[in-house]
Amino acid sequence: MWKHFVTLGDSFTEGIGDEVEGAALHSWVDHFANLHTPELQYTNLAKRGLVSQEIRVTQLEKAIALQPDLVSLIAGANDILKGRWNHNQYKNDMELMVGRIHKSGAAIIIANLPDFTVRLPLPIEQQHIVKEQLIEANEILQSLSNEYKLYHIDCWNHPMAKDNTLWSKDLIHPNSRGYRVIAETIFKHVSVNIK
């Protein structure tokens, strides 16, 4: 059905994390492509460490130039966890990217952010700040999802958010099993909700 899948984002989409026994480390993008028959052609542009503005500047036009019919845009964790949260900047960057990709005719996958505060050993005050910022980011993503009818993956309420066996030792990145779970979740959601 899809001809070319292109992914934008940070380390979550690049596929950074720990390898655990019985599961080789591959990004969720690799697994997602392999779940299709025939295997889905894809280009993964995601790079670790980037905030939303950097993703927009370095990846958006490259993605559009590839003329994909399916695009994933998952961003925001670094905006918050690196202490660079700027509500308006994030909102503007995500609106611009989603609008531009939508205008190209590609279907779009986005995902809200998981609640990192349930895993990370943060001081109570910082926990509250991070959680508030995550909620703000997810409200922006929900609004875009409603407006553009996106494939919206709910990482906040997904059971894996509280299952530490699916996360790397840093408790931020999924491990090799976690990436497989994410791919299966996205594949199921996209398959069930064909647009």
Give 110-126 pLDDT, tens digit per residue: 999 999 999 899 999 99
Whole-angstrom Cα distance, residue 155 to residue 43? 23
Give the confidence band of 194 by pLDDT, cuts at 50, 70, 90. low
Q: Answer whether 130's CB lies under 8 Å from 186's CB.
A: no
Residue type, 50: L
Average pLDDT, the chain: 96
Q: Dump strand ranges (E) for 65-131.
A: 70-74, 107-111
Give the confidence band of 162 by pLDDT, cuts at 50, 70, 90. confident
Local structure of 126: helix, strand or coil: helix
Instruction: Report the pLDDT averaged over residues 6-25.
Output: 96
Task: CATH number for 5-192: choose from 3.40.50.1110, 3.30.479.30, 1.10.10.10, 1.10.760.10.
Answer: 3.40.50.1110
Whole-angstrom Cα distance, residue 144 to residue 152? 10
Going by C-alpha positions, the residue among 77, 70, 40 that lies closest to residue 55 is 77
Give the model's pLDDT for residue 195: 58
Q: Is the pLDDT of residue 191 over 90?
A: no
User: Tell me: the pLDDT tens digits for 26-56?
Assistant: 999 999 999 999 999 999 999 999 999 999 9
Q: Is the pLDDT of residue 103 over 70?
A: yes
Instruction: Report the pLDDT averaged over residues 136-148.
Output: 98
Q: Dump strand ranges (E) for 45-131.
A: 70-74, 107-111
- Measuring CA to CA, how many Å separate 36 from each of 26, 29, 33? 16, 11, 6
Q: Is the pLDDT of residue 193 over 80?
A: no
Helix %, strand %, coil % of the chain (to 5): 50, 15, 35
